[in-house]
Amino acid sequence: MPTPDASVTSAADAALAHRAGAASLAAEAWSWTPAGRAAPVLDGLDLAIEPGERVLLLGASGSGKSTLLQAFAGVLGGDDEGTRAGALTVDGVDPAEARGRVGLLLQDPDAQLVLSRAGDDVAFGPENLGVSADEIARRVPEALAAVGLDLPLDADTTRLSGGQKQRLALAGVLALRPGALLLDEPTAQLDPAGVGEVAAAVAELVADRSMTLLVVEHRVDVWAPLVDRVIVLEHGRVLADGPVADVLRAQGDGLAARGVWVPGRSPEHPSPASREPGEVLLSARGLSVRPRGGEIVQRGVDLDVRAGEIVALTGVNGAGKTTLALTLAGLLEPAAGTVEAGDALRGIDPTVEHLSPADWSSRALVARLGVVFQNPEHQFVAPTVRAELEVGPRALGRSGAEARGIAEPLLESLRLRSLAGSSPFTLSGGEQRRLSVATALATAPPVLVLDEPSFGQDARTWAELAALLAAHRDAGGAIVMATHDRELIQSLGAREVVLPAPAAPAAPRAGAPAAPAARRPLVERLNPVASIAASLVPSLLLIVTLDVVSAAVALALQLALLPLLGVPWRLLLLRIAPVLIAAPLTALTLLLYGETSGRIHAEFLLVQISDGSIELALASLLRVLAIGIPAIALFARPDATRLGDALGQNLRLPARFVLGGVAALRLVTLMRDDARMLERARRARGTADRGRIRRLAGLVLSLLVLAIRRGSSLAIAMEARGFGAPVRRTWTRPSPWRGIDTAAVLIGLTISALALAAAVATGSFLGVIG
């Protein structure tokens, strides 16, 4: 083992010394009060978990389960963030001293993966702890195999299914070689197939008791067979603790009443439909659907939705359930075929001409089709719960008093009255689900379209949801819902429409095939720091000159060298198109308002076109192009991971900030999807019939809330994987600086020097200063 730095080695050794089998977890009179709150979340907690024990942690939302896991993982934060009392230990020491001994897996698969390639992501934890590169290279395939993931190391993590992402995150935790696995609702956001995958992987890992397991889950049936012991928390204290069967016998009723899915205690089911389906409200013929910017996922769908019936769209992930539901709701254009509203649906006051909901205004839509999105936070548009319920009625032109008259009974019947003045974003998951359904019901639309409405809900919310849907059906409404939930389909007597699996398997594609390095275009081989330097040189030169000759020479040389980069022409044109538009506009400004000199050709108001301003305009046109084109061409194929490696290793910028930025960039795709979904939700809520700018402004707050939530969760996951540890991190991906990199920077400098020299030689040099 190399010994580059004494302190680093000793830290790594100390961490390794602990690594003997499963870890013990203990709390003694432990309390935690988050800053700014009066009541402790964990309150004098006493518990001891022996090495190798397997424990299920139950409790209502807000009972302190997640906080306890974060405390054991050592990521609760410092004194800024709260007050602690008592002792909490891992292997008898403070969790902060036992970094890497405890692995934490969170709920949202998208908020815990850090890097864009699977192998890199698994290596992230050990890299942070300064484990040697050789050792990491051994651990990564081992960890992937341990969770049953057979992926190329460069597989794109954004293309994986939920179950695969969650197993990949688990592999990233295992690569730390932890002695305890802490799982915080690891399957709450997965479909049944994903739940099975993750539970099976965990079962395999803890079978030989080489790791202690502490898991928080509402779904007792999935985890009960795997654990020895159940601990029930209430208000931050231990309510019950013992073998699974004993605790469930003694506490089962109480737990079920608090929403825990206790085996053998099904939530209440609504009564069956009271009448036969009536007239057709919505019909699809030969319908093909595709997500925006994606491929067609379903073809030739024929479907009638009648008043008083519930249609369940089912099928494997990727079959297009959500896409079909959104198309039926008029939020996506059909790719082919038609969606038509029946007379009964179209004709309600005021009537609309168009047959297809996709052609309706937002206002026409909200009166007819209520949409409930899978993530309630996509749905919310108002500052308070009460205002949220009034949005729909107001969009339909109801007066304030009328809207209030609609909101009040809904607040009452959905137990939201005490929250009426709160922001919808502060609500718990169950409350958000009730509110999102209520917002759709507020305009009494004949058709309700729901996307995975029961996903991740506790048993109590589930029963309330089922009752609401049954009531809508019995009042003569129709429901279309995309769902995986067999129990919900059964209890509502829904007509099931099974969507066939998509023709092409949605298997993750590995990144670009690993061509030998020499074959890749230059633009992808250059060190990103070299690209930045080479693209910045021209703009630095162009600060000092303003003349036509230097800009023209620089641009001509750049254009001559451009083909060497190997960027495909079409991509290049696409990327630089905006600059081709911006440059003439800048030139125009200078033509009209540039410094006047020589003969004046035209003059009106502030405009003065003179010899001087014509020359300035031409020079600025060339300048903008000479600054913009290399900057864009050198980054025509950006790769955030390589950029991060180069900034961290070659430029030696602080690793924490570089990696924070890289991790956040991975979320861009999610944010873009969020933005699209938010826009759809606004159309469905009746508030989209206004200018683009007002719509955009309205999206920003929701977009930021979603981003901050993911960021906060990502921060916990990253910190639990050693991010920010006071250890010199290992970089497993080399970021070499080669001859071509030096050459690229020199060429950039040479172009600038030649351009300057040409200007001076021709006597046309015009400096900015003087």
Partner 1 sequence: MVSTAASTPAASTPATARAPRPSLRWRVVDIVVASVLGVAGGLVMTVWNLTYSPLTAPIEAALPGLQALLYGVWLFPAVLVALVVRKPGAALYGELVAAATSALLGGFWGWSAVQWGLVQGLGAELIFAIFLYRAWGLVPALLAGLGAGVGMAVMDLTFYYAESRPEFAAIYAASAMTSGALLAGGGSWLLTRALARTGALSRFAAGREHAARADS
Using CB under 8 A as the binding rule, the residues of this chain from 739 to 768 that contact partner 1 are 768
* Shortest distance (Å) from residue 760 CB to partner 1: 18
Question: Near partner 1 by CB under 8 A, which window of 148-156, 190-198, 209-217, 593-601?
Answer: 593-601
Q: Can residue 568 be called a binding residue for partner 1 (CB under 8 A)? A: no
* Of 3-11, 270-278, 302-310, 422-430: span binding partner 1 (CB under 8 A): 422-430
Under a CB-based contact definition with an 8 Å cutoff, are residues 644 and 661 in contact?
yes
Q: Are strands 237-243 and 229-234 parallel, antiparallel or unpaired?
A: antiparallel
Nearer to partner 1, 6 or 693 (CB): 693
CB of 103 to partner 1, least distance (A): 16
Q: Are 611 and 599 in contact (CB under 8 A)?
A: yes
The residue (of 203 and 705) whose beta carbon lies closer to partner 1 is: 705
List residues bridging with 47 in a β-sheet. 27
Q: Which of residues 654-683 bind partner 1 (CB under 8 A)?
A: 656-657, 660-661, 663-665, 667-668, 671-672, 675
638 binds partner 1 (CB under 8 A): yes
Closest to partner 1 by CB, 437 vs 625, is 625
Interaction between residue 124 and partner 1 (CB under 8 A) = no
Longest dimension (CA), the chain: 98
Q: Does 68 bind partner 1 (CB under 8 A)?
A: no
Residues 569 to 588 in contact with partner 1, rule: CB under 8 A = 574-575, 578-579, 582, 585-586
Verify binding: residue 77, partner 1, rule CB under 8 A: yes
Dist CA 404 CA 414 (whole Å): 15
Looking at the Cβ atoms of 146 and 766, the one nearer to partner 1 is 766
Asked whether position 375 contacts partner 1 by CB under 8 A, the answer is no
589 binds partner 1 (CB under 8 A): yes
Residue 72 interacting with partner 1 (CB under 8 A): no
- Residue type at position 559: L
- Strand pairing of 42-49 and 54-58? unpaired
Could you tell me the smallest distance in angstroms from the CB atom of residue 709 to partner 1?
Answer: 6
The one segment of 33-41, 117-125, 455-463, 551-559 that binds partner 1 by CB under 8 A: 33-41
715 near partner 1 (CB under 8 A) = yes
Helix (H, G, I), strand (E, B) or coil at 341: strand
Q: Residue 208 has what DSSP assignment?
A: T
Q: Does 471 bind partner 1 (CB under 8 A)?
A: no
87 is a contact residue toward partner 1 (CB under 8 A) = yes
Q: Which C-beta is closer to partner 1: that of 252 or that of 511?
A: 511
CB-nearer residue toward partner 1: 469 or 636: 636
Show the CA angle centred on residue 609, arms to residues 607 and 611, nearest 5°: 155
Q: Does 480 bind partner 1 (CB under 8 A)?
A: no
Which member of 8, 85, 501, 510 binds partner 1 (CB under 8 A)? Answer: 85
Q: Are 6 and 13 in contact (CB under 8 A)?
A: no
Q: Quick one: which of 5, 13, 94, 253 contacts partner 1 (CB under 8 A)?
A: 94
* Measured distance CA(251)–CA(501) in Å, rounded: 42
Residue 69 binds partner 1 (CB under 8 A): no
Task: Classify burial at 307, counting beta carbons within 10 Å of its beta carbon; exposed 0-12, middle 13-18, buried 19 or more.
Answer: buried
C-alpha triplet 72, 75, 76: angle, nearest 5°: 90
Angle at alpha carbon of residue 721, lines to 717 and 726, rounded to 5° = 120
Q: Does 623 bind partner 1 (CB under 8 A)?
A: yes
Judged by CB under 8 A, the chain residues 522 through 541 that form the site for partner 1 are 531-532, 535-536, 539
Q: Give the nearest distance from C-beta 282 to partner 1 in angstroms.
A: 33
- 713: Cβ contacts below 8 Å, ≥ 6 apart: 106, 107, 108, 111, 112
Residues in region 36-55 near partner 1 by CB under 8 A:
36-38, 40, 43
Of residues 377-396, those binding partner 1 (CB under 8 A)? 383
Q: Rule CB under 8 A: is residue 698 a binding residue for partner 1?
A: no
Closest approach, Cβ 426 to partner 1, in A, equals 4
Tokens 């389906």 correspond to 277
Confirm or reject binding of residue 546 to partner 1 (CB under 8 A).
yes
Q: How many CB atoms lie within 10 A of CB 442?
A: 26
Q: In what order do the strands lie in the sheet with 478-482?
A: 369-372, 447-451, 478-482, 310-314, 495-498
Angle between helices 162-174 and 133-146 (to 10 degrees): 140
Interaction of residue 420 with partner 1, rule CB under 8 A: no
Binding of partner 1 by 431 (CB under 8 A): no
Token pair in block for residue 606: 């502030």
| Choices 167-175, 473-481, 550-558, 707-715 (CB under 8 A): range interacting with partner 1 | 707-715
**In angstroms, rounded to a whole number, what is the distance separating the alpha carbons of residues 373 and 392?**
15
Does residue number 594 form part of the binding site for partner 1 (CB under 8 A)?
A: yes
**Residues 175-214: x/- map of binding to partner 1 (CB under 8 A)?**
----------------------------------------
Which residues have CB under 8 Å from 290's CB, separation 6+? 296, 297, 323, 332, 335
20 vs 25: CA distance, rounded Å: 14
Question: Is 269 near partner 1 (CB under 8 A)?
Answer: no
Cβ nearer to partner 1, comparing 132 with 586: 586
What residue spans of 456-511 are helical by DSSP H?
459-474, 486-492
The answer for residues whose C-beta is within 8 angstroms of residue 594's C-beta and 6 or more apart is 610, 612, 613, 616, 617
Q: Give me Rg for the CA atoms of the chain.
A: 30
Report whether 117 contacts 158 (CB < 8 A): no
C-beta of 84 vs 495, nearer to partner 1: 84
Q: Least distance from C-beta 36 to partner 1, angstroms?
A: 3
650 binds partner 1 (CB under 8 A): no
How many residues make contact with partner 1 (CB under 8 A)?
Answer: 103
Is residue 709 at the binding interface for partner 1, with CB under 8 A as the rule?
yes
Which of 78, 513, 516, 739 is in the footprint of partner 1 by CB under 8 A? Answer: 78
How many residues can be counted in the chain? Answer: 770
- Residue 599, strand partner residues: none
